[in-house]
Structure 1
Amino acid sequence: MLSLFSRIGKLLITILVVGSCALISGEGVFAATSTVPVPVNVAGGDGHGIAAWSDGTVTGWGYNKYGQVGDGTSIHQFVPKRIDGLANIVQVAAARDISFALSKDGEVWAWGDGYSPYVSGDVVLQYQKRGLPVKMDGLEQVSNIDTNGFAGVAVHNDGTATLWYPTHDPTDPMTVTTKYVSLKGVSNASSAVILDYTVLILDCDGKVSSLSIYNTVYGRYRSENELPAVQPIRSSISTIVSSGRDAFLLNKNGTVSLWNEESKKTATISGFTGISNIQTGYKRLYALNSNGSIWQWNYNAGTKAKPFQVKSLSNIADIWGSTGQFGYALRKDGKLMAWGDGYYTGMATGSGSPTIDKGKETAYAVNVQTPLSWTVKGQSISFYGTSGIINGKLYVPFTSVFEALGVKISSKSELDPKQNGRSTSIKTFAYEDKTLVIKGGSPAEVLLNGKNTGQTVNIQVMSNTTMYPLETICEQLGISLQWNKTTGEVVLGGA
């Protein structure tokens, strides 16, 4: 899980003093020296990711069944999308199928499972419309948040902490409200992480303590009056993170220790020295060495499993984790990377699958695609469906840019004698005096005004939607297309 003390490198952060502890402001050297926003905090769930940027905006991507991406749909998004309604965000938290964001004013926003209900009556998305992020009214003056995928914990500016979790109305199971419990006995806190049944608190002096928050006999979270005393664990700690019932402590001497919720025991992990930051994935520990290298320990792989270096990542300034089998890394040049060996939608590759030969190493890295913005004939537009970037080419769904461009599109199927009478798809794009036909599967033939161009393209299906090769279509129809891959700006049809 994420800690607000997850650093963006000594050269990248500006420190504010809030309450009794130093907290990251979300403004760094990148923000000051570049007009292009850079990520300041990132979090991942089981198959989605969320990023806060130096300009205060938030983007989301990946698996989206419960609205956890935050774009107001349940459509999986293979390229990051900017989330409406959020501003001045300095930290994000995610786990499983939910997401949260913390603003510099101490407000917390939530979306995803239990927070983003279906919205009926939408003309385009009758069954896939979801609610946008909602403000959590029971949390104020917050400096740090963490979640285990169901409940969450917030540290306040004054060093106190609050537990929150969703509850269902017994008379109406579809109605979900949020319960808030003040964690008595917690003071001077700088950050906290929530395990299955326990909250670990790191205070401003580097001391870690535990607090049991769950009554296993009654199967529910404790009320404020039922909370036991806070129990000290260890001192001289700089960062705490968690995964399931395990917590990891980064000692100030650069070593790492493991604390288990069930055994209540702490043990030093061999193989980690000179570590400047730690994060977790599902049964994985990620560690950033002070030399900019990343090390990973798949600690569920048996007693012989040892930490190994993720060789495709170097010159790293900061790292973040997920509850899936992937993590995120910020290179010192400001580029956001993802690496992993599992659910690729959370890695924002653009296509949902990796582009690197996974046989070369146990974990491998890809570039997180830059969010796209769309301008068509001088007007800014947006669309519900995902866009795609496959082999460096732009792909878009039917309900995207074509109507705004004035392109008429149609689809039909016919029997193809070349394919032994099997049905083949025919897509037609008509623009001014030109008619483009994309015929067949993968690869498909491209015909312009009835003549074969000799060009072939691959039609893709993403998020259960047919995706069209935008650059090929624009080129054949004579429509201008400019794509700034650094900023993500796509300009179609001129001004």
Structure 2
Amino acid sequence: MTAHRAPRTALLATLSLGALTVLAVPEAATAAATDPWVRAWGTNAVGQLGNATVLNQSTPGDVVGVARTDVRTLSGGGHDSTAFAVALLSDGTVKSWGANGSGQLGNGTTTGQPVPTTVAGLSGVSAVDAGSDHVLAVRKGRIYAWGSSAKGQLGNGLTEDDTKKTPVLVQALDDVKDVGAGCQYSVALRKDGTVWTWGDGSNGRLGTGPSAGNATVNESRNTPQQIKNLTDIDAISVGCNHVLALTVDGKVKSWGEGRNGQLGNDTRVDSLSPVDVKYLDSGVTKISAGPYHDFAILEDGTVKGWGWNGFGQLGDGTVTERTTPVPIDNLKGTKSIVGGADFTVAAQPDGSVLTLGNNDVFQLGDGTNIPTTTRDHKPVTTLPTGSGITRVATTTTGRAAFAY
């Protein structure tokens, strides 16, 4: 489907705010309802917003040439200085844009690009996910990977930063349903409900138990290995250094880094194997792992959050770190939610988008740099009712956001 954007009469103005350069689009909130494009905002130093500039965006702007109705899944990767994004389109192809120092755009180079282009030679893709410096894609049940393999995260049997600028096949794994890419590690969910991991084993992020040589980490691997005693998994969500897994009966498991309470098991301790997230005994329909804080959506529309909350990004009206899930009343009914480095983005049933947390580089997208901690901890409206948004995404540990 090819969409044509209606003419805009407002002037795009480049202005300076403190030490930041920002692209201001004053009419974004009113234009959103009829604008067909994927929207993006926040920091943009390496073109991660896909708007053909490297200027920060204080309000939602268009990702060039990518219509919302054409996107099946969008995933952001990297930190602010290494950030990028990939979009799986309805025709099974993948587009990428942003930083490319590790070949994570899959375009055969290490040159970044501020506009989306198609990943060559890749079609028939059913799932895609971006990590800190690599990407995973599922095609006909097999996994393809590209970008950095410094910790074996490409799963092709190689390490020592054997960068792959185009997709390569992950070894010895088929019948894959979904994938998740984290900070130098990878996770795959097979259709039989088992979970497989590879890459960096620090913090227990592979979930495979203590390494033979170090009881505080998993053994790093450059090919997939199954997490034992973890079955009947229906969905996975991968944070920077930790993982959430949703069981077929609506419970949530977690493993990996726990210093901010992001495992939800009432500790701040890493776990080398899966543990139960407390007080989520049933009824969970969606999970979302951010870099340091997490969310679960329940059957009745309730949203629960846990983990780091230093900027009020959980939305519970405090800045208290939560080691177990707490209800987020301000976000009940949310359809899609994701945590960025220090903020949260949530798509609402009416097509609007709400944001919470820090706002120093416009990651809330409301045209200001004022955090919600100074606004009674209430969510701000980034896109209004009727904007047609159903899903949201952020970069892995960065401060850029997407709505589509």
TM-score > 0.5, shorter chain as reference:
yes
**8 Å Cα contact 2:278-2:324 kept in structure 1:** no
**8 Å Cα contact 1:37-1:55 kept in structure 2:** no
Aligned to 1:187: 231
Aligned to 2:86: 50
Aligned to 2:55: none
Aligned to 1:82: 118
Aligned to 1:353: none
Aligned to 1:416: none
**Where do 1:144-163 residues align within 5 Å?**
144-163=178-197
CA distance in 2, matches of 1:321, 1:200: 17
Q: Which has the larger radius of gyration?
A: 1
Aligned to 1:491: none
How many Å apart are 1:228 and its aligned residue?
6.0
**Where do 1:360-439 residues align within 5 Å?**
none
- What's the TM-score, normalizing by structure 1? 0.49
**Using a 3 Å threshold, how does the CA distance of structure 1 residues 44 and 228 change in structure 2: closer, same or farther?**
closer
- The CA RMSD measured in Å over matched residues stands at 3.4
CA distance in 2, matches of 1:228, 1:288: 29
Match of 2:337 among 278, 288, 296: 278
Aligned to 1:245: 292
Pick the structure with more strand per residue.
Answer: 1
**8 Å Cα contact 1:145-1:154 kept in structure 2:** yes
How many Å apart are 1:130 and its aligned residue?
5.8
Aligned to 2:394: 321
CA distance in 2, matches of 1:49, 1:161: 25
* Higher relative contact order structure (alpha carbons within 8 Å, sequence separation ≥ 6): 2
Match of 1:40 among 50, 55, 72: 72
How many Å apart are 1:205 and its aligned residue?
2.6
How many Å apart are 1:279 and its aligned residue?
2.1
How many Å apart are 1:190 and its aligned residue?
1.2
**Where do 1:92-241 residues align within 5 Å?**
92-103=128-139, 105-114=140-149, 131-166=165-200, 178-195=222-239, 198-212=242-256, 222=272, 227=273, 233-234=279-280, 235-241=282-288
**Where do 1:244-323 residues align within 5 Å?**
244-260=291-307, 264-298=323-357, 303-304=373-374, 305-311=377-383, 314-323=387-396
**Using a 3 Å threshold, how does the CA distance of structure 1 residues 211 and 220 change in structure 2: closer, same or farther?**
closer
**8 Å Cα contact 2:255-2:270 kept in structure 1:** no
Q: Which runs of 4+ in 1 moved over 4 A?
A: 212-215, 219-222, 228-233, 299-304
CA distance in 1, matches of 2:121, 2:348: 36
CA distance in 2, matches of 1:229, 1:296: 30
CA-to-aligned-CA distance 1:257-294 (integer Å, 9 cap, x gap) = 11228964111123112211212322222111111111
Matched letter for residue 292 of structure 2: R
CA distance in 2, matches of 1:248, 1:220: 19
CA distance in 1, matches of 2:271, 2:323: 19
**8 Å Cα contact 2:252-2:276 kept in structure 1:** no
CA-to-aligned-CA distance 1:177-219 (integer Å, 9 cap, x gap) = 714331122222111123455432112232212245899xxx9
**8 Å Cα contact 1:94-1:149 kept in structure 2:** no
CA distance in 1, matches of 2:356, 2:231: 33
**Using a 3 Å threshold, how does the CA distance of structure 1 residues 76 and 63 change in structure 2: closer, same or farther?**
same
**Higher mean displacement: 255-264 or 279-288:** 255-264
CA distance in 1, matches of 2:337, 2:379: 13
SS at match of 1:68: coil
CA distance in 2, matches of 1:180, 1:220: 21
CA-to-aligned-CA distance 1:29-79 (integer Å, 9 cap, x gap) = xxxxxxx98111111113211011111111111111111111011111122
**8 Å Cα contact 1:115-1:134 kept in structure 2:** no
CA distance in 1, matches of 2:328, 2:358: 10
Matched letter for residue 182 of structure 1: Q
**Using a 3 Å threshold, how does the CA distance of structure 1 residues 195 and 67 change in structure 2: closer, same or farther?**
same
CA-to-aligned-CA distance 1:115-154 (integer Å, 9 cap, x gap) = 799xxxxxxxxxxx96311111143211111122211221
**8 Å Cα contact 2:133-2:183 kept in structure 1:** yes
SS at match of 2:105: coil
**8 Å Cα contact 1:100-1:111 kept in structure 2:** yes
**Using a 3 Å threshold, how does the CA distance of structure 1 residues 271 and 73 change in structure 2: closer, same or farther?**
same
Q: Does 1:68 align with 2:104?
A: yes
**8 Å Cα contact 1:116-1:130 kept in structure 2:** no
**Using a 3 Å threshold, how does the CA distance of structure 1 residues 37 and 251 change in structure 2: closer, same or farther?**
closer
CA distance in 2, matches of 1:286, 1:52: 20
CA distance in 2, matches of 1:186, 1:263: 25
Aligned to 2:42: none
**8 Å Cα contact 1:99-1:112 kept in structure 2:** yes
Q: Which runs of 5+ in 1 are unaligned?
A: 1-35, 118-128, 168-175, 331-495
Paired positions, count = 269
How many Å apart are 1:92 and its aligned residue?
1.2
CA distance in 2, matches of 1:229, 1:238: 18
Matched letter for residue 109 of structure 1: Y
CA distance in 1, matches of 2:168, 2:335: 34
- Percentage of matched positions with identical amino acids: 27
